[in-house]
Amino acid sequence: VSTVLWDAKTEMAKITIDSTKTTVDQVLKKIATVGYDNVKYRAADSVYDKLHGCCKYDRPAKSSK
């Protein structure tokens, strides 16, 4: 990851990557492994549950596929 800009109002991050070193998919997977859902991956409940209270957010229910 080259840069991360966090927008507190929208609660969204804008991430710039060096595509010669990683992919968007790899970054999204890594984000999910530390407890944060994203457009492609849902964090494991066990990892999300360990987040500090200030870092938790309203999560939509799991969809049953």
pLDDT above 90: percentage of residues in the chain = 72
pLDDT band at 45 (very low <50, low <70, confident <90, very high): very high
What pTM was estimated for this model as a whole?
A: 0.80
**Strand, coil or helix: 35:** coil
CA distances (Å), 25 to each of 9, 10, 29, 44, in order? 25, 22, 6, 17
pLDDT at 25: 96
pLDDT at 64: 64
